[in-house]
Structure 1
Amino acid sequence: MGFGLDLRFDLDDCDFRWLSEFLQGMLKPVAALAVVLMAVILSRCQKLGLEKEMAVSIFRAFLQLSVIGFVLQFIFNQENAGWIILAYLFMVSVAGYTAGQRAKHVPRGKYVAGISILAGTAVTMFLLVLLSVFPFTPRYIIPIAGMMVGNSMTVTGVTMKRLRDDIKIQMNLVETALALGATPRQATLQQVKRSLVIALSPVLDNAKTVGLISLPGAMTGLIMGGASPLEAIQLQIVVMNMLIGASTVSSIMSTYLCWPAFFTKAYQLEAKVFTSD
């Protein structure tokens, strides 16, 4: 397997038996719609008005997961590093846009979020491959990249939004520190720390209680797939470690990239950033 961005493929090598297996396997997901029907009925009885939203959500989930299933099956059959990189960059782009939407008042928030997520997940993934924790193959890299990107997206969005909101609330303190000769980074140090703590706390709390309150998805999937619980916990420990690493790097990177936009070249707060709501 090469590491060049060669996206060619041969249709003769494709095995379409999985398509028949997929259609047969969809019987259980269709049967599981019964619980959604129960939720729709309860929503109607309680006059919540969520019936349409529930139906749309389930349809979108079914459509999106089906499409990604076909795409992943195609990529797995290719065994080509170029498709891994392409899929990874697509996930990072979508995650950056989504996190930027959460922190929409941060200037160039989508770009800041995208670069931060890329940095955090790329560094973490590089270390995992370098240490031979995972092989650089689509079957391993794409799923773990998806978990890291999704987690980093949430943490980065919260960090950026919280940092901007905290600075807005404590503008007087920040301006006083600037007037006394502090640099922008020094003047906002407490706000940066608070935003990082708030954003990373759910990830750390989840690591503290994993296995005690709930069994995570990766571990549950392995057990239901026939793997032994001991094998499942080994993978889950790796997953928790990589999520903490990627989230921490991404969130810290986002503070370094977004706080300069909060200040002018004269080291004054950029008023227009904090007046919009």
Structure 2
Amino acid sequence: MSQLAVNNFSLALAFALVLVAVYISNREKLGLTKDIFYSISRAIIQLIIVGYVLKYIFNVNNVLLTAAMSFFIVLNAAYNAHKRNPNHSKHYLNSLLAIFISTYVTLGVLVLAGAIKFVPSQIVPISGMIASNSMVAIGLCYRNLHELFINQRQQVLEKLALGANRKQASLPLLHASIKTAMQPTIDSAKTVGLVSLPGMMSGLIFAGVDPLHAIKYQIMVTFMLLSATSLGSIIAGYRTYVDYYNDQLQLRI
């Protein structure tokens, strides 16, 4: 079996592709050059640091250290999801609770079912995969909910004036936001294998695992991500919509 080799020359050639994006940005005056260089610089630094940390954690193979690293991923994902919420009355606890439950319920089922073991080489990557997808879904839920409260403010006020409580007045907006949050994961599940070969499956195939065995893991990942995004967006949405009202059932917007 041939080993994959990523040397400095291959990285330099790959970086040339980034320069193509920079060239297009400058030529079309998109104003993305600074963001591109900042994002790749940050990615390189973060990945190098994480690489050394993971190497240490994998070598130590300590249960508490593994759990701590997994929880750190959840905390960071919750913080980033919280930042994506445009509402000025937002609460970090809502994002943390949504990602914590969606990540560890899904992860717990996988561990109890014997699909993965509680070892750092499996728990840390899977935690990151679940938390990151949940974070994206929650961010979409937040942004869409905020836009709907702005665009449909009058309809919400009319429902409140007719005697509806805040949940009844907000339910159509809430359902639409949760649906929007879950749609990318659902669309991805529809096209997996036909349009894209996702990371888990591709990584296992690169490592020399039999494709049929890799497919089983990818099916597990698909189930896992659908569970996490649905739990995360539902919990975040139902905990967040109340932030748009004050104690007198008046819209804060």
Q: TM-score, normalised by structure 2?
A: 0.89
Aligned residue for 1:28? 7
Structure 2 CA distance, aligned partners of 1:53 and 1:262?
Answer: 32
Residues 22, 36 of structure 2: 8 Å contact kept: no
Distance in 2 between the 1:57 and 1:128 partners? 33
Instruction: Tell me the C-alpha RMSD between the 2 structures.
Output: 2.1
Partners in 2 of 1:212 and 1:41 — Cα distance?
Answer: 28
- How far apart are the structure 2 equivalents of 1:41 and 1:256? 43
Deviation at 1:42, TM superposition (A): 6.6
Corresponding position of 1:79:
61
Q: Taking every aligned residue pair, what percent have the same amino acid on both sides?
A: 34
> Quick one: which amino acid aligns to residue 19 of structure 2?
V
Contact persistence 1:40–1:54 (CA under 8 A): no
Whether the 8 Å contact between 1:106 and 1:258 is mirrored in structure 2 is: no
Tell me if the contact between 1:40 and 1:51 (Cα under 8 Å) persists in the aligned partners: no
1:40 aligns with 2:22: no
Report the CA distance between 1:38 and its aligned residue.
4.5
Q: Kindly indicate whether residue 84 of structure 2 is the aligned counterpart of residue 105 of structure 1.
A: no
Q: How many aligned positions are there?
A: 247
Please show how residues 64-75 of structure 1 align to structure 2 within 5 Å: 64-75=46-57
Q: CA deviation at 1:99?
A: 1.2
Question: Per the alignment, do residues 35 and 115 of structure 1 end up closer, same or farther by CA in structure 2, a change over 3 Å counting?
Answer: same
8 A Cα contact 2:201 2:217, kept in partner: yes
Task: Name the CA distance, whole Å, in 2 between partners of 1:249 and 1:41.
Answer: 39
Q: 1:44 to 1:207 in 2, by over 3 A?
A: closer
What does 1:1-277 correspond to in 2, within 5 Å?
27-28=6-7, 30-40=9-19, 43-44=22-23, 47=27, 53-269=35-251, 271=252, 274=253
TM-score normalised to structure 1 length: 0.82
Separation in structure 1 between the aligned mates of residue 33 and residue 143 of structure 2, nearest angstrom: 31
- Deviation of residue 61 (structure 1)? 2.2
- Mean alpha-carbon deviation: is it higher for 119-128 or for 47-56? 47-56
- The alignment partner of 2:86 has SS state of coil
Unpaired segments of 5 or more residues in structure 2? none
CA positional deviation for 1:62: 2.3
Match of 1:15 in 2: none
Q: Matched residues in 2 for 1:140 and 1:39: separation?
A: 31
CA distance in 2, matches of 1:84, 1:104: 33
Amino acid at match of 2:219: I
Shift in Å, 1:54: 4.1
Assess, with a 3 A threshold, how the Cα gap between structure 1 residues 189 and 29 changes in structure 2: closer, same or farther: farther
In structure 2, the CA distance between the partners of 1:26 and 1:224, relative to structure 1 (3 Å rule), is closer
- For 1:222 and 1:132, how far apart are their aligned partners in 2? 19
Q: CA deviation at 1:27?
A: 4.9
